[in-house]
Amino acid sequence: MQGWLRLSHRNNFRLKYFFVLSVLLFGSINFAHADSSGLDPKILIDEMSKASRDLNYDGVFVYHLGKQMDTMRIIHKAGEDGIYERLISLTGNAREVIRNKDKVQCFYPEDKKVVVDKSRLGKLVSTYLPNPVDSISAFYNFEVAGEDRIAGMDAWVVNIRPNDKYRYGYQLWIEKNSHLLLKSELKNQLGVTLEQIMFTQLNILDDIDDALLQPSISGKDFTWYNNVKHVSFKDDSDKQWQVTSMPVGFFMSKQEKEAMMNSHMPVEHFIYTDGLAMISVYVEKLLEQEANYQAGLSSFGGVNTYSTHIEGYQVTAVGEVPMATVQLMANSVKSFH
Amino acid sequence: MNELNKEQLSAFIDGEHDGEYMLDKLIHDEDMKATWSRYHLIGDCLRDNVPEKISNQISTNVSHILRNEPTILAPVTKRFSIKPLAGFAIAASVAMLAVLSIQSGNEIDSSSSAAPVIAATTVAQPETFNFSEPQVLPAAVKESDTPESIANQRLNNYLMNHNEYRSNVGVNGILPYARMVTIESQE
């Protein structure tokens, strides 16, 4: 340190420069250290998936999408007979979503409306794979990028960077003890955050009182729309559909004809995944008055959608992937008899 | 320019003269400006503080650039913007608080209620902010049967359906779940 003091005034600039440089260097050494401390980012992510599913917790998080910001409370119970979850919007309309393994109920107090639908809980796409995170290694880079503190708890920061322009990246903050997800950012190729959630408070509990899982809205003079016991459609279509082009690494994990609200016919639904990103492709017969209307591209936070018409059907791709990907996949849909 | 003025100017440069008076003079007197920059150059030479090349036109260049710079008019956007000028950042954050407090009151009238709130906070230039209808509370507009509304409703269904499947996936399970609450409802 003696030597530093003898530096003349003129060398001040150089000294500052050196300081900045050393901070940068030490910073990167710190990151490297975090990665080499025996923490495998993929194992952390697997642990996080398990914790989010298997623990009981009650927390409040901020949801940020474009210019919109909302606060929500989530109550999650992992009982013997499956998962019970309740999500309550704390800002704007007091919407609530309650779901278990059988059904999802969405309460819309502003419209005095309850929509009940079949639950897709447990119909996991990626966890069907024996080793979910390993299967996506080829298309993403994983690293433990450092440490941070969220909602008063210490977290590991894990980066998931895509290797090509057909996927988005994630930055995840995983609590060090419980491995619950504390913060999550969905990022595009330029590193711009498209959508994020961050817990401001999170309590892990031994048990959750069933009363906490009841809707605060009785739904008494509400209109109920039930999509669970849907009348079966007459399906006289002999058309078979196929998605013929997609980025490398995506595979089909589900194909099903689904009855959907507002649709006069069952909708052909394909789900494709690379283990992390998920893309739905819907094929639905067009109504007569729609022949000249093309919806094209639209986006909702990190979700992009693209619709096109093929032989009197509307083909729509929906997914947390860049526009190029949904466009590529929807345009590649072909029919055969 | 007389000797007295030169003396005063010299004193001003050394920080020993009433600044406001001299500044006023400097702005209006070309001769004095020239002397002022000469004095500074002399001072710099004495202190060995001179670069290899000297431009005696810096002040002219700067004023030329300033004169030709386009006037920045803050655009009136739908939602208030904190981009335009650094000074506006503080104003915007105060305005943001105002919006938040109105929203929590849940009685929003875009034009009439916003104006008095702004006035009360005594923030400069409130007219640059335009309070829009909040996105979070969409009016319950009955959808008609136009192709566009049919397509929109269908897209909403797809988004809900997709997010329901998506919310199972552990990597980002809560995000799609949050979307379900935020997406507009459909019948």
- Is there a single domain that holds both residue B84 and residue B48? no
User: Beta strands A313-319 and A278-285: pairing type?
Assistant: antiparallel
H or E stretch covering A319: strand A313-319
- Residues 6+ positions from A6 with CB-CB distance below 8 Å: none
Residues A221-234 have pLDDT tens digits of 888 887 765 555 55
pLDDT at A244: 92
The answer to whether residue B168 is domain-embedded is yes
Say yes or no: A87 contacts chain B, CB-CB below 8 A: yes
Task: Kindly report each contact of residues A104-108 with a partner whose C-beta sits within 8 Å and lies 24 or more positions away, as own/partner.
Answer: A104/B164, A104/B180, A105/A215, A106/B180, A106/B181, A106/B185, A107/A215, A107/A217, A107/A219, A107/A222, A108/B185
Same structural domain, B94 and B127: yes
Interface membership of A318 toward B (CB under 8 Å): yes
Verify that B18 and B37 share a domain, yes or no: yes
For residue B34, the model assigns a pLDDT of 82
Confidence of residue A328 (pLDDT cuts 50, 70, 90): very high
Of B136, B168, B178, the CB nearest to A124: B168
Tokens 């008899």, residue located: A337
User: Does residue A22 carry a pLDDT above 50?
Assistant: no
- Name the β-bridge partners of A154: A149
Whether A34 shows a pLDDT value over 50: the answer reads: no
Q: Quick one: closest CA in B to A184, which residue?
A: B172
Q: Return the residue of A nearest to B168 by Cα.
A: A124
Nearest CA in chain A to B100: A91
The answer to whether A330 touches A232, Cβ cutoff 8 Å, is: no
Nearest by CB to B180, from A52, A97, A181: name it. A97
Q: Is B84 within the bounds of a domain?
A: yes
Q: Please identify which residue in the block is written with the tokens 């030329």.
A: B64
Task: Parse chain A into domains and list their residue ranges.
Answer: 41-224, 230-336
- Chain A residues within an 8 Å CB radius of B140: 110-111
B-facing residues of A in 27-66 (CB < 8 A) are 45, 48-50, 52-53, 61, 63, 65
Encode pLDDT of A169-182 as tens digits: 989 999 999 999 99
Closest partner CB to B170 (pick from A53, A293, A320): A53
With an 8 Å Cβ cutoff, are B162 and A280 in contact? Answer: yes
Among B51, B68, B85, the domain-final residue is B68
Question: A289-301 in b/e burial notation, b at 16+ Cβ within 10 A?
Answer: ebeebebeebebb
Predicted confidence at residue A124, as pLDDT, reads 43
Task: Taking the CA atoms of B107, B110, B114 and B116 in sequence, report the sign of the dihedral they define.
Answer: negative
Do B7 and B58 share a domain, yes or no?
yes
On the question of pLDDT at A248 being above 80, the answer is yes
Q: What is the ipTM of this complex?
A: 0.77
Residues 131-190 of A with CB under 8 A from B: 132, 160, 170, 172, 181, 184, 186
Highest mean pLDDT among A197-201, A265-269, B56-60, B180-184: A197-201
Q: Contact B183/A300, CB-based, under 8 Å?
A: yes
Domain that holds residue B175: 147-182
| Residues B89 and B124 both lie in one domain | yes
Pick from A125, A197, A303: which is nearest to B165 by CB?
A: A125
Number of domains in chain B: 3
Task: Tell me how far apart the alpha carbons of residues A15 and B132 are, in angstroms, rounded to a whole number.
Answer: 51
pLDDT at A178: 94
Residues B80, B39, single domain; the answer is: no
Looking at residue A282, its pLDDT comes to: 94
Residue type, A208: I
- What's the pLDDT score for residue B180? 67
What is the predicted pLDDT for the residue at B118?
36
pLDDT of residue A6: 38
Please provide the average confidence, as pLDDT, over all residues in chain A.
Answer: 80
Name the domain boundary from B68, B97, B113: B68
- Segment holding A153, helix H or strand E: strand A153-162
Residue B142 lies in a domain: no
What is the structure's pLDDT at B177?
65
Q: Which CATH architecture has domain A230-336?
A: 2-Layer Sandwich (3.30)
Single pTM value for the model: 0.63
CA pair distance B103, A169, nearest whole angstrom:
33
Residues in chain A within 8 Å Cβ distance of B173? 49, 52, 181
Judged by CB atoms closer than 8 Å, whether chains meet at B154 and A262 is answered as yes
pLDDT at B111: 36
How many cross-chain Cβ pairs, A to B, lie less than 8 Å apart? 180
Asked if residue B175 belongs to a domain, the reply is yes
Residue A39 has pLDDT above 80, yes or no: yes
- Minimum distance, in Å, between the CA of residue B49 and any CA atom of chain A: 12
Is residue A235 scored above 70 in pLDDT? Answer: no
CATH 2.170.150.70 fits A41-224, yes or no: no
Question: For residue A327, how many other CB atoms are within 10 A of its CB?
Answer: 17
User: Are A197 and B155 a contacting pair at CB < 8 A?
Assistant: no
A182: its two tokens: 């504390």
Residues B101 and B121 occupy one common structural domain: yes
Going by C-beta distance under 8 Å and a sequence separation of 6 or more, which residues neighbour residue A145? A31, A34, A157, A158, A159, A171
Residues above pLDDT 90, as percent of chain A: 33
pLDDT at A92 over 80: yes
Q: Tell me whether residue B177 is in a domain.
A: yes
Same domain, B97 and B127: yes
pLDDT tens string A100-154: 878 888 888 888 888 887 777 654 444 334 445 556 667 888 899 999 999 999 9
- Considering only residues B82 and A213, tell me which one the structure prediction assigns the higher pLDDT: A213
Residue A262: strand, helix, or coil: coil
Check if the beta carbon of residue A281 is closer than 8 Å to that of residue A316: yes
* pLDDT value of residue B114: 35
Q: Which of A230-244, A268-282, A292-306 has the highest mean pLDDT?
A: A268-282
- pLDDT tens by residue, chain B, 187 residues: 677 777 777 777 777 766 677 777 777 788 888 887 888 888 777 777 777 676 667 777 777 777 777 666 655 443 333 333 333 333 333 333 333 323 332 333 333 333 333 333 344 444 445 554 444 333 333 445 677 777 777 888 888 788 777 765 545 556 666 776 666 544 3
Same domain assignment for residues B120 and B172: no
| B107 and B132 fall within a common domain | yes
Confidence of residue A329 (pLDDT cuts 50, 70, 90): very high
